Amino acid sequence: MRHFFCTFFLFVFCCYVTWGQQIQAAESLPAGTLQGQVKDAAGAVLPGVSVVVEGTTLGTTTDAEGRYELQLVAGQHYTIRLTYVGFEAQRRTLTLPAIHGLRLPATLQNAHQALQQVEVLGRKETTYRTKATFLGSKSETEIKDLPQSVSYASKELIADQGLMRVGEVVKNFSGVTQFTFYDDIVIRGFRVNGQSNTQLLNGLRTSTGFWKQPLANYLERVEVLKGPSSALFGNASPGGVLNRVTKKPLNENRKSLSVSLGSFQNFRALADFTGPMSKDSTLLYRLNLGYEDAQSFRDLQFDRNLVIAPSFSFLPSPRTRLNVDIVYNNSNSRLDRGQATYKNDLYSTPTSQSLATGNDYLNEQTYNVTGSLSHQFTKGLTGNLSYIKTGYAEDLYEHRSANAYAQNAAGQDIDSKVAMQVFARKRRRYIDNLSAFVNYDLQTGPVAHRLVLGYDYGSETLPPGASQLTAAGYRNAANTAAIATYVPANRTRYLLDASGNPVPNVPHFDLTDVLGSQRMQDDSKLFFTPRSFDPTYYNLHAGYVQDQLRLGRVQALLGLRYERYTDLVGYKTAAETKVNQHALLPRAGLVFTLNEHVNLYGTYVQGYNPQTAATIANPNAGGPFNPLRSNMLEVGGKSSWLQDRLSITAAAYRIRQTNVLYNANDASQPDLLRQVGAEESKGLEFDVLGQLSLNWSVTASYAYNEASITESPVAAEVGAQKPNAPRHLANLWTRYTLDRGALRGLGIGFGSNLATVRTLSLNTTQTIPSYFLLNAALYYRTGRVTMQLNANNLAGRTYWVGGYDYIRLFPGAPRNFLLTLGYAL
């Protein structure tokens, strides 16, 4: 602790000397005027430095020549603070003369903070750009030095677009789009969903409830590491892994509140508080709160969410860092199973139509508790330990389609009626993930190494008691039970109506009488069949080694992971048996620094994903199945421009995967799966992100993707584009803010999203059309108050984000608006 205080006061003294001795009286300046020019230690000017008068709403930024000017009150005392990303902050207390101004030039020193191995300290930047990530290498690495493509969205971009769901955020990423409007996306043609336990929170494996996406107000950024990531994280999608990074405490006080009102009776209130809890800043806190009460453009749909997300960082010494994060989400809503249309007629029903009734509800509770510890034993050796506990509880009652149209006496589809079923379900799920690793920096001759040696443990449990009541099918002739399917040849076994059609157990949804079908239903006379979700448990143990080498302009990343996956089939029964799977997963990447602006890279990685009872979570899926196997080749370039404010990335890739499961389309066994053989995804991606000028931010991306089945027992499937995977995706968002004149503080944002035609997942003859959306925003900031108006889908386009077939379509929202009022300290 004594060493910490000495270092701290030495730093303060140096800052005082560096800046304080440079105060210059300026008799030529009017009284109350403060001017200066800011440079770095090498004498280069620094544009965009934030110059703030503490305790007031006054402030500015340096211009292209590093100069600033403030109009203050002569004779008064002020504390001036300068901050700039990558440089140490500086403060200076001064008194303005009564008869003339002052010149206060400054030299900022580079921030020589040790790279974090575990993300404990919060990010202070307030721009769209993030220079470093922990996702690709188990330590803080600049994105340009990582031999793999990474897409991300910072909290600033998320806020500017008025977004609150990760499924909405990913529209900014090249090659990433929604599969449904659940927590369910497509990366480079491969599906990744929140219930698969392959998504990450702070780099640790976790899961969400899948059906509803939680609020994103507690997130610092959302990022995607493209391609198989099994060498670091174990079983995962070959398209990529999505990581949610929570906001961490800062060592400076910041507080913000915001209230939003919008279309579809949308109300949202958010709060974010952070700062030191102790005088020496060894204990820091952050608290994010969120409340949402929103209806929807979809009939009978609503979301009521509460998020409580505290975070604490303890830094007892410069060598030791401890962080604890808690995220609790309580969600009350209805489950939306999508829009149904008349058979093969996409535009026959409004996109607002849902098949829910007034009886339905979905209550979910999720918590994530994360602890991270980092300790530096010696100058080059650091130990890291992280653990996350996830708990999820679901209480569901829903009227939903039976994934088919109603049947007439001859067994033909009645296009205007959808066969229905009722689910009543309760279940819980628990996930544990432990990650322990050491980083060791050393030099062997001219080669610098950063070694990582680690161990991972993960498990997921579905405990006993998970069960469901299902009402479906058609009533038997005695009206005493239900039969799952209607067979015309055995029509005498069924209860028939006056027209000779079989009587359903659950009344059909009548597309000609939508309001009547959406009313509360009397389910007391339905025949329910109980079904238990068999308890499941799996665990994995993995060890891995990785070396990041640097020799001059060349960097290499070499990694190897061994993983042992164990699934307890028949868990908690007398027939319980172990199923073990093993995987040895290499990873190799190379980065070459062409010049100060451009890095070229290439990488090869392998991935796998077991397909056992626990991972499929469906006893009617069939099997046993072989694990998924994948590999990826990727080459590209990463560059930075405009004094490192703007980054440009280009990538070309090819991903191959074998042993893929698809629905067998067996009417008698709707859950039956089959392995189609092999898939391939190849394409190009292009990303631009950062600042074109001090007041002009931009993010843009384009992706071309060919994702198809290359081997299948069904010849017609070979060569077909994979479900909900457009060949072309493009996104743009830009914001410009005025910083001078009468309109100072006024900003405008504009964006667009493009996706081309997509094939649906359960009916390859049905497609959903391309869409092109326009979005815009207005901003105004005066002092501590901000006002923001977001307008989405300005042209009011009808479009769909994804779907299974024309009974389960997932439409996008029509034209909508969101007004936000914020206050920050």
Mean pLDDT of the chain: 88
- Compute the distance between CA of residue 194 and CA of residue 183 in angstroms, rounded to an integer: 5
Integer CA distances (angstroms), 377 to 42, 81, 324, 384, 440, in order: 33, 35, 21, 11, 10
User: Residue 15: what pLDDT?
Assistant: 36
Residues near 380 by beta carbon (within 8 Å), at least 6 away in sequence: 440, 441, 442
Residues near 120 by beta carbon (within 8 Å), at least 6 away in sequence: 248, 313, 315, 321, 322, 323, 372, 374
Q: Where along the chain do its domains lie?
A: 2-108, 132-246, 254-468+531-824
Token reading at 465: 């008691």
- Compute the distance between CA of residue 109 and CA of residue 15 in angstroms, rounded to an integer: 9
User: Residue 12: what pLDDT?
Assistant: 36
Distance of CA 238 to the CA centre of its chain: 17
Contact by Cβ (8 Å): 397, 405:
no
Q: How many CB atoms lie within 10 A of CB 813?
A: 18
Token reading at 825: 């300290």
The burial of 651, by beta-carbon neighbours within 10 Å (0-12 exposed, 13-18 middle, 19 or more buried), is given as: buried
- Compute the distance between CA of residue 590 and CA of residue 604 in angstroms, rounded to an integer: 9
Stated as kind and residue range, the H or E segment containing 656 is: strand 646-658
State the fold for domain 132-246: Ferric Hydroxamate Uptake Protein; Chain A, domain 1 (2.170.130)
Beta bridge partner(s), residue 312: 285, 324
Asked: is 2-108 a CATH 2.60.40.1120 domain? The reply is yes
Beta bridge partner(s), residue 391: 367, 430
138's torsion region: left (phi>0), alpha (psi -120 to 50) or beta?
A: left
Contact by Cβ (8 Å): 679, 722:
yes
- Compute the distance between CA of residue 80 and CA of residue 227 in angstroms, rounded to an integer: 46
Measured in degrees and rounded to the nearest 5, phi and psi for residue 303 equal -140, 125
Please provide the CATH number assigned to the domain covering 254-468+531-824: 2.40.170.20
- Compute the distance between CA of residue 202 and CA of residue 11 in angstroms, rounded to an integer: 31
User: Residue 26: what pLDDT?
Assistant: 64
Among 775, 624, 703, which Cα is nearest to 163's? 775
Among 97, 89, 84, 82, which Cα is nearest to 28's? 97
Integer CA distances (angstroms), 109 to 60, 84, 278, in order: 20, 10, 26
User: Residue 3: what pLDDT?
Assistant: 44
Compute the 3-state secondary structure of the chain and give helix, strand, coil in percent, each to the nearest 5: 5, 55, 40
- Compute the distance between CA of residue 672 and CA of residue 12 in angstroms, rounded to an integer: 67
* Confidence (pTM): 0.83
Residues near 564 by beta carbon (within 8 Å), at least 6 away in sequence: 540, 541, 542, 580, 581, 582
Contact by Cβ (8 Å): 628, 565:
no
- Cis upstream peptide for 624 (omega within 30°): yes
- Compute the distance between CA of residue 318 and CA of residue 760 in angstroms, rounded to an integer: 54
Kindly report the length of the chain: 825
Stated as kind and residue range, the H or E segment containing 698 is: strand 696-711
The DSSP call for residue 504 is: B
Contact by Cβ (8 Å): 102, 72:
no
Residues lower than pLDDT 70 in the chain: 1-27, 57, 85-86, 110-125, 195-198, 230-231, 613-620, 623-624, 667-668, 670
Integer CA distances (angstroms), 219 to 123, 247, 492, 778, in order: 11, 5, 59, 23
User: Residue 549: what pLDDT?
Assistant: 94
Beta bridge partner(s), residue 375: 320, 383
DSSP string, 583-606: EEEEEEEEEEE-SSSEEEEEEEEE
Q: Which long-range contacts (CB under 8 A, 24 or more apart) does 568-572 make?
A: 568/536, 568/537, 568/538, 568/614, 569/612, 569/613, 570/534, 571/534, 571/535, 571/536, 571/537, 572/464, 572/535
The SS3 of residue 489 is helix
- Compute the distance between CA of residue 810 and CA of residue 240 in angstroms, rounded to an integer: 23
Contact by Cβ (8 Å): 406, 140:
no
User: Residue 112: what pLDDT?
Assistant: 43
Instruction: Give pLDDT tens digits for 192-244.
Output: 887 665 688 988 888 877 888 888 899 999 999 998 876 677 777 889 988 99
- Compute the distance between CA of residue 77 and CA of residue 75 in angstroms, rounded to an integer: 7
